[in-house]
Chain A
Amino acid sequence: KQEVTQIPAALSVPEGENLVLNCSFTDSAIYNLQWFRQDPGKGLTSLLLIQSSQREQTSGRLNASLDKSSGRSTLYIAASQPGDSATYLCAVDSKAAGNKLTFGGGTRVLVKP
Chain B
Amino acid sequence: DTGVSQDPRHKITKRGQNVTFRCDPISEHNRLYWYRQTLGQGPEFLTYFQNEAQLEKSRLLSDRFSAERPKGSFSTLEIQRTEQGDSAMYLCASSRQGEQFWETQYFGPGTRLLVL
Q: Which residues of A contact B (CB under 8 A)?
A: 4, 6, 31-32, 34, 36, 41-46, 49, 51, 89, 91, 93, 97-106
A99 touches B42 (CB 8 A): no
Task: Judge if B48 is at the interface, Cβ distance under 8 Å.
Answer: yes
Residues of B at the A interface (CB closer than 8 Å) are 4, 6, 31, 33, 35, 40-45, 48, 55-56, 91, 93, 101-102, 104-110, 112
Whole-angstrom CA separation of A51 from B40 in the bound complex: 27
Q: How far is the CA of A21 from the CA of B32 in the complex (A)?
A: 29
Known: A43-B109, A46-B107. A101 touches B40 (CB 8 A): no
Contact A46 B33 (CB under 8 A): no
- Shortest CB–CB separation between residue B32 and chain A, in angstroms? 12
Q: Chain A's nearest CB lies how many Å from the CB of B69?
A: 15
Given that A44-B107, A45-B107 are known contacts, is A99 also in contact with B48, CB under 8 Å in the complex? yes
Interface centre among A89, A100, A104 (most CB of B within 10 A): A100
Point out the residues of chain A lying under 8 angstroms from B40, CB to CB.
Answer: 105
Q: Do B108 and A99 touch (CB < 8 A)?
A: no
CA distance A108 to B54 in the complex (A): 34
**Chain B residues within an 8 Å CB radius of A51:** 101-102
Question: What is the CB-to-nearest-CB distance from A58 to chain B, in angstroms, rounded to a whole number?
Answer: 16
- Enumerate chain A residues within 8 angstroms of B4, measured Cβ to Cβ: 43
Say whether, besides A36-B107, A44-B91, A99-B56, A104 and B102 are in contact (CB < 8 Å): no
B45 CB contacts on chain A under 8 angstroms: 97, 100-102
B35 smallest CB distance to A (angstroms): 8
Known contacts: A43-B108, A43-B109. The answer to whether A32 contacts B42 by CB under 8 A is: no
For A102, the chain B residues whose CB sits under 8 A away are 45
Question: Which of chain B's residues have a CB closer than 8 A to the CB of A106?
Answer: 41-42
A31–B109 Cα gap in the complex (Å)? 25
A51 shortest CB reach to chain B, Å: 7
A36: chain B residues within 8 A (beta carbon):
107
State the CA gap A34–B43 with chains docked (Å): 13
